[in-house]
Amino acid sequence: MLKDKIKVAVFVSGGGTNLQAILESEKRGEIPDAEIKLVLSNNPNAYALERAKNFGVKAVCVDKNEYKTLSEREKKTVEILEEEGIELIVLAGYLSILSEDFTKKYQNKIINVHPSLIPSFCGKGYYGLKVHEEALKYGVKVTGATVHFVNEIPDGGKIIMQKAVAVEDGDTPEILQKRVMREAEWILLPASLEKVAKELRENN
């Protein structure tokens, strides 16, 4: 018999459009092996916290300004995760690098979406619009998004899924960012979450 659904925490820092995509997928029954149990932000003003509440999901903030060190903040984060029985973490626009201790503790239990086809335009400092600016500057004709496991190297973990998106004439970084979200990130992230959760359930 399969164990209960995998309990998931989504980490966010901003608006939470990727979170919205996950929550809507869950509502449509497209993530049958996982349950979004918690949304955690390092920014008290993140609109993503409101989105969580709108879906009846517990929302908490571990404010980066309230903790002197990263290890103190992560210690608090781990306490919250353990309290909620979290088994899998999704980074959905979480603008904070996790420590090696944290990523080792949750090895193969943290997934992240990155707005390019890794190994292009990734690594330290590559997030948000910068990724799309660099892709346009380089002149690539195809970009996309990648969902990968998180380890101690930024964007360095094993790839779970990728989806290509065409770069069109006249694209600005903002236009390209929206297209990559709509055509790749919002599709890949819920699908990858389901894939990993299903494997976790089957292997437990």
Residues labelled as active-site residues: 114
- DSSP class of residue 153 equals S
Structure tokens at 172: 């600005």
- CA–centroid distance for 166 within its chain: 22
| Nearest residue to 167 via CA among 131, 186, 145, 140 | 140
User: How would you write 80-144 as a 3-class SS string?
Assistant: HHHHCCCCEEEECCCCCCCCHHHHHHCCCCEEEEECCCCCCCCCCCCCCHHHHHHHHHHCCCEEE
> Is residue 117 within 8 Å of 164, Cβ to Cβ?
yes
Task: Give every CB contact of residue 166 below 8 A, 6+ residues apart in sequence.
Answer: 141, 142
- Beta bridge partners, 89, equal 9, 110
